[in-house]
């Protein structure tokens, strides 16, 4: 397997955690999102993913985009600990928590969006940071309420073992810290984050530990 | 089952199609996204979904958010035509196509984002429309290339029967037309859209045919 990745890509970070949790290795193919005007726009990566987004998994000729699709694919095709619960309601809940991050927080704050705000729309850095914090706090506040209110929440987002939802939560909180978001308002999220940080699978996936970190 | 929905909500539209394809009925609970300052912010709906986003499915005490999680849940728990392929690679591809729309196009152009651009950032209507068309054309162009290049693409996004990916594509194209996006550049998407339009399941889910349309 080959994983097209960038150390600071939040969606790549999700997949790195998932690979580690399943005890899988993938050969990294580094795509630097700022160098050379953005290597994701180069001809090489354009042929792999015309979306110009990371991550991409290549598995024996099969080219797969989208971090959540990749995580579910790994879960369905590889042995090891499951990343989704066995029951349909549990699976649905984990998917919904994952999508609340991967669809409703992250894409609005992605690098390309911040660039459009700054470049095309001329929004200054202070207001770009306010934009970032607005969407993160909206999303995390709702997530905090959902997790705090549910008996299904355990030591992790769903029960007593990490799932795809934790693979999404930890990178989102990492990003939020980069932008100085105040995370003290989310005690449930922070407690889960702290438990994940104890696990080697999450620790080894951290952006600053990746070989392409600069 | 009860579906919290709004006729023009793109994510609700996806679930309406999925319910129709599976031959299922859900009692509608209408949430008007503009009336009363946005009924999604009212105490009633806040208790259902602190994200204040549609759709929400209630199924015998189980409250589920996120359109893609809902569609997969319906597919896993209800008989009828499958909305995802049986093989892991096919499922992964359908999920990736769905997420390319539901995560990478739609959330950036959602009502709440356009409101923030106009209100907090003072971006005028012309530039808001340009923003909309920018993200739609980026996303649809990549999707067109992915679908046109893949032997897995058939009469629909994946093979010869509609899947979750078509449930996402049709509402996204509906939205793109509302904002006068030029769709002639996407012949593969348009051909699939035209085939979907022939099916009663897609037709009956159209926003303008819903009882809450105004």
Instruction: For B60-113, write each residue's pLDDT tens digit.
Output: 999 999 999 999 999 999 999 999 999 999 999 999 999 999 999 999 999 999
Q: Residue A11 corresponds to which tokens in the numbers above?
A: 């969606």
**Banded model confidence at residue B14, pLDDT cuts 50, 70, 90:** very high
Q: State the SS3 of A89-139.
A: HHHHHHHHHHHHHHCCCHHHHCHHHHHHHHCCCCCCHHHHHHHHHHHHHHH
Q: What tokens were used for A128? A: 């770009």
Whether the pLDDT of residue B36 is over 90: the answer is no
What was the pLDDT predicted at A69? 98
H-helix or E-strand spanning residue A3: strand A2-5
Closest residue by Cα to residue A192 from A152, A147, A150, A139 = A147
ipTM of the complex as predicted:
0.97
| Among B91, B108, B123, beta carbon nearest to A113 | B108
Out of B69, B88, B104, the one facing A77 most closely (by C-beta) is: B88
Closest CA–CA distance from residue A102 to any residue of chain B (Å): 7
Q: Does B96 sit within 8 Å of A64, measured CB to CB?
A: yes
Q: A139-148: string of b/e by CB count within 10 Å (b at 16+)?
A: bbebbbbbbe
Mutate to test the interface with B, among A45, A104, A106 (most CBs of B within 10 A): A104
Q: CATH number of the domain at A2-81+202-209, please?
A: 3.40.30.10
The CA-atom distances, in angstroms, between B191 and each of B119, B125, B144, B179 are: 38, 31, 11, 20
**CB–CB of A123/A130 below 8 Å?**
no
- Whether residue A113 lies within 8 A of chain B, CB to CB, comes out as yes
The whole-number average pLDDT for the span A147-155 is 97
| Cβ within 8 Å, pair A76-B88 | yes
pLDDT value at position B130? 95
What chain B residue is nearest to A148 in terms of C-alpha separation?
B50
pLDDT on residue A183: 96
A residues 155-214 near B, CB within 8 Å?
none
Residues of chain B with CATH 3.40.30.10: 2-81+202-209
Confidence class of residue B155 from pLDDT cuts 50, 70 and 90?
very high
**Residue in A77, A96, A108 nearest the CB of B108:** A108
Tokens of A65: 């985009």
pLDDT recorded at residue A51 = 92
Q: What is the mean pLDDT of chain A?
A: 96
Q: Give residue-wise pLDDT tens across range B51-65.
A: 999 999 999 999 999
Inter-chain touch A104–B53, beta carbons under 8 Å: yes
- Radius of gyration for chain B, computed over Cα atoms and rounded to the nearest angstrom: 17
- Residues of chain A in contact with residue B52, where contact means CB-CB under 8 angstroms, are 142
User: Across residues B31-46, what is the average pLDDT?
Assistant: 89
Alpha-carbon span B108 to B173, nearest angstrom: 15
Close Cβ partners of A82 (under 8 Å, ≥ 6 residues apart): A75, A163
The tokens for B59 are: 């199924």
- Given this model, what pLDDT does residue A43 score? 86
Cβ contact (<8 Å) for B68 and A99?
yes
**Cα torsion B6, B143, A32, A207: sign:** positive
Q: For residue B43, name the pLDDT band (cuts at 50, 70, 90).
A: confident
List CB contacts (< 8 A) between A73 and chain B: 88-89, 91-92
Are B64 and A92 an interchain contact pair (Cβ–Cβ within 8 Å)? Answer: yes
What contacts B27, CB < 8 A, 6 or more positions away?
B1, B2, B3
Contact A11, A31 (CB under 8 A): no
Q: What would the mean pLDDT of B39-53 be, rounded to a whole number?
A: 90
What is the pairing mode between strands A27-30 and A2-5? parallel
Q: What angle do CA B101, B106, B107 make, to 5 degrees?
A: 125
Instruction: Report the relative pairing of strands A56-59 and A2-5 from DSSP bridges.
Output: antiparallel
Residue A36 has pLDDT above 90, yes or no: no
DSSP type of residue B199: S
When pLDDT is averaged across residues A82-104 and rounded to a whole number, the result is: 98
Q: Do A108 and B103 touch (CB under 8 A)?
A: no
Say yes or no: A79 contacts chain B, CB-CB below 8 A.
no
* Confidence at A3, pLDDT banded by 50, 70, 90: very high
For the segment A137-145, the average pLDDT, to the nearest whole number, is 97
Per CATH, domain B88-200 is 3.30.1330.60:
no
User: Which member of A70, A92, A139 has the closest CB to residue B73?
Assistant: A92
For helices A187-197 and A164-178, the axis angle rounded to 10 degrees is 110
- What percent helix, strand, coil does chain A show, rounded to 5? 55, 5, 35
Residue B143 has pLDDT above 90, yes or no: yes
Point out the residue among A96, A108, A145 whose CB comes nearest to the CB of B113. Answer: A108
Distance CA A175, CA A193 (A): 13
> B131 — contact with chain A (CB < 8 Å)?
yes
In chain B, which residues fall in CATH 1.20.1050.10?
A: 88-200
**What sign for the dihedral angle of Cα A68, A71, A73, A75?**
negative
At residue A37, the pLDDT reads 84
With beta carbons less than 8 A apart as the criterion, state whether B55 and B9 touch: yes
**How many A-B residue pairs are in contact by the CB < 8 A criterion?**
129
A72:B95 CB<8 A: yes
| Residue of chain B whose Cα is closest to the Cα of A75 | B88
Q: Is the pLDDT of residue A34 over 90?
A: no
């Amino acid at each position: 397997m080959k994983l097209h990745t960038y150390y600071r890509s939040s969606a790549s970070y999700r997949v790195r955690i998932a690979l580690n949790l399943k005890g899988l290795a993938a050969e990294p193919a580094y795509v630097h999102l700022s160098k050379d005007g953005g290597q994701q726009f180069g001809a090489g990566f354009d042929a792999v993913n015309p979306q110009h987004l990371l991550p991409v998994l290549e598995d024996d000729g099969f080219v797969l985009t989208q971090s959540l699709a990749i995580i579910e694919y790994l879960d369905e095709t590889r042995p090891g600990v499951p990343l989704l619960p066995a029951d349909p309601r549990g699976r649905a809940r984990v998917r919904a928590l994952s999508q609340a991050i991967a669809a409703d927080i992250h894409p609005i704050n992605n690098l390309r969006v911040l660039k459009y705000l700054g470049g095309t729309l001329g929004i200054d850095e202070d207001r770009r940071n306010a934009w970032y914090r607005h969407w993160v706090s909206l999303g995390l506040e709702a997530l905090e309420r959902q997790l705090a209110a549910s008996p299904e929440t355990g030591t992790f987002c769903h029960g007593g073992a990490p799932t795809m939802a934790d693979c999404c939560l930890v990178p989102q909180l990492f990003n939020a810290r980069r932008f100085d978001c105040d995370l003290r308002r989310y005690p449930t999220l922070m407690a889960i984050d702290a438990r994940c940080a104890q696990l080697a699978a999450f620790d080894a996936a951290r952006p600053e530990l990746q070989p392409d970190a600069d």
